[in-house]
Amino acid sequence: MSALNGKRKEYLTVKDLQKVLDSCKLNLNQIDEVLPNIYIGNVAVAQNKAALQKLDDSTHFDLDVYFQPAADFIHKALKTPDGKVLVHCIMGMSRSSTLVLAYLMIYRHLPLKQALKKLIQKRAIYPNRNFLALLLDLDLQLTRKKKTCQIL
């Protein structure tokens, strides 16, 4: 007989898992970073703007590479009969709103400030400083492009 046949396979039980959980000696906090950039928190944190802003997106993430593809996707979806689009991110405040702002700028030809004003009439959004800087760059590019097209 093989050595594998002689070994009994053990399965975990709920009780085994509860023992592991019971071994935790940490205090329960409102929020904890459980893995890099992954947080577990309670509803109080989810409703606290200051706490959320501390967890805001990386100041180094290059979201601008997604501006055009996201804008194209939104535009195409809205052109279909009864087209609707859900643009979402973890908090629904920074990445998703930044992509919607890019869409408004690219396809609706709104300047950034006007696009911001339009969105904040409907939702509290908080793109991080990096994303705002990327949107400012897009705004400048679109303004230059518009002026070039008018000259030609």
Per-residue pLDDT of 16-31, as tens digits, reads: 877 776 777 878 777 7
Per-residue pLDDT of 78-135, as tens digits, reads: 899 888 888 888 777 889 899 999 999 999 999 999 999 988 888 888 888 889 989 9
Nearest 10 degrees: Cα torsion 68, 74, 76, 78: -150
Domain ranges of the chain: 14-54, 63-151
Per annotation, catalytic residue among 40, 89, 133, 136: 89
Q: Does domain 63-151 have CATH number 3.90.190.10?
A: yes
Please state the pTM of the whole predicted model: 0.68
For residue 77, what is the DSSP state?
A: H
- Above 60 in pLDDT, residue 6? no
89 is catalytic: yes
Check: CB of residue 71 under 8 Å from CB of residue 80. Answer: no
Per DSSP, helices labelled H in the chain are 3-6, 14-22, 43-46, 49-54, 67-79, 95-107, 112-120, 129-151
Per-residue pLDDT of 37-50, as tens digits, reads: 666 677 777 777 77
